[in-house]
């Protein structure tokens, strides 16, 4: 297989298309075992989370079998192009659902952090942004600082359950975060958004912190889903109140 590095914004979709092409064109035969996730991630030049999401889509299409502890194996095409379209649409709906959860959790976390953060919390957030800035030329490195910043906000709430929720969110939404990081100007935009959020938290301004986080997440959602404008009124503030 001649695997091409991934350049597109919705990373897992491009992986799906390449692997589906290999199966349909006979480069992967029914019963052939795919390389391990780690090897595929290295050859595609993406994260293992993106590979895992692509394999889940291919499994839902009936193009691969995923055997617990045994690897992933190619199957014959069971649905053709229509199955691909349906699977990719399902992937976008899942991303939309995940972003809704993020919009419920993280703006409220930012507001709590503005009330409860301590000097060491603020220092950790600032350090995360320094790491994010240094990593901007390489999306994967920039995302480490990005994730560190969001987790630092959760820790500043002093709510251990909220910390766990944000940890899960950071992992589950890696593909959408990658889309934002790879979009032209995306890393710089994210860093500016993060600095505004940190400024509000430093100033003990929960309302501004909440709004700044929501605005940031709506931009990420727009990049992840390929929509032109975020629907702020539809989302409100994630707590049942309309956006102001």
CATH of the domain at 23: 1.10.10.10
Does 215 lie in the same domain as 169?
yes
Residue 240 lies in a domain: no
What CA–CA distance (Å, rounded) separates 224 from 103? 14
Please report, in tens digits, the pLDDT of each residue of the chain (244 residues total). Answer: 666 665 555 677 788 888 887 876 677 888 889 999 999 999 988 888 888 888 887 887 778 888 877 889 988 554 544 454 555 455 566 677 778 889 999 999 999 999 999 999 999 999 999 999 998 887 667 888 999 999 999 999 999 999 988 888 777 676 666 666 667 777 899 999 999 999 999 999 999 999 999 999 998 888 777 654 444 443 444 444 444 3
Residue 1 lies in a domain: no
Residue 86 lies in a domain: no
Average pLDDT of every residue of the chain = 80
What pLDDT is recorded for position 197? 98
Q: Which tokens is 161 given?
A: 């359950």
What pLDDT is recorded for position 97? 79
Does 113 lie in the same domain as 69?
no
What pLDDT is recorded for position 1? 63
Domain assignment of residue 32, given as a range:
11-78
Residue 186 lies in a domain: yes
What pLDDT is recorded for position 180? 66
Residue 129 lies in a domain: yes
What pLDDT is recorded for position 74? 86
pTM: 0.60
Does 114 lie in the same domain as 37?
no
Does 104 lie in the same domain as 74?
no
What pLDDT is recorded for position 234? 39
Which phi and psi angles does 71 have, rounded to 5°? Answer: 100, -170
Alpha helix segments (H runs only) across the chain: 11-24, 37-44, 48-60, 80-116, 119-134, 139-156, 160-172, 174-182, 186-202, 206-225, 232-235
Does 99 lie in the same domain as 72?
no
95, 175 contact by CB (below 8 A): yes
What pLDDT is recorded for position 49? 84
Render pLDDT for 63-73 as a digit per residue (tens, 0 to 9): 888 887 788 99
Q: Which of 38, 53, 78 is the last residue of a domain?
A: 78
Q: Which of 50, 78, 106 is the last residue of a domain?
A: 78
What CA–CA distance (Å, rounded) separates 60 from 86? 10
Residue 51 lies in a domain: yes
In order of 162, 173, 241, the CA distances from 94 in angstroms are: 22, 10, 23
Does 208 lie in the same domain as 142?
yes
Does 228 lie in the same domain as 158?
yes
Residue 3 lies in a domain: no
What pLDDT is recorded for position 99? 84
State how many domains the chain has. 2
What pLDDT is recorded for position 150? 96
CATH code, 227? 1.20.120.530
Does 208 lie in the same domain as 157?
yes
Does 211 lie in the same domain as 102?
yes
Does 201 lie in the same domain as 129?
yes
Does 125 lie in the same domain as 64?
no
Residue 83 lies in a domain: no
Does 123 lie in the same domain as 61?
no
What SS3 class is residue 78? coil
């Amino acid at each position: 297989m001649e695997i091409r590095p991934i350049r597109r914004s919705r990373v897992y979709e491009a992986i799906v298309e390449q692997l589906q092409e290999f199966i349909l064109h006979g480069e992967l035969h029914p019963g052939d075992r795919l390389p391990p996730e780690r090897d595929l991630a290295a050859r595609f030049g993406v994260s293992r989370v993106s590979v895992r999401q692509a394999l889940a889509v291919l499994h839902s299409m009936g193009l691969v079998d995923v055997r617990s502890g045994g690897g992933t194996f190619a199957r014959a095409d069971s649905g053709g192009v229509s199955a691909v379209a349906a699977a990719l649409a399902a992937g976008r709906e899942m991303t939309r659902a995940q972003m809704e959860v993020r919009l419920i959790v993280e703006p409220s976390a930012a507001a709590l952090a503005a009330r409860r953060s301590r000097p060491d919390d603020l220092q950790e957030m600032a350090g995360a942004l320094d790491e994010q800035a240094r990593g901007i030329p390489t999306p994967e490195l920039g995302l480490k600082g990005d994730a560190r910043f969001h987790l630092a906000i959760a820790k500043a709430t002093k709510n251990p359950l909220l910390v766990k929720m944000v940890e899960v969110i950071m992992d589950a939404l890696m593909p959408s975060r990658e889309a934002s990081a790879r979009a032209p100007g995306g890393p710089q935009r994210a860093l500016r958004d993060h600095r505004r959020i940190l400024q509000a938290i430093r100033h003990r301004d929960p309302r501004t912190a909440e709004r700044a986080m929501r605005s940031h997440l709506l931009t990420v959602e727009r990049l992840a889903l390929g929509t032109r404008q975020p629907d702020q009124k539809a989302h409100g503030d994630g707590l049942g109140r309309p956006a102001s």
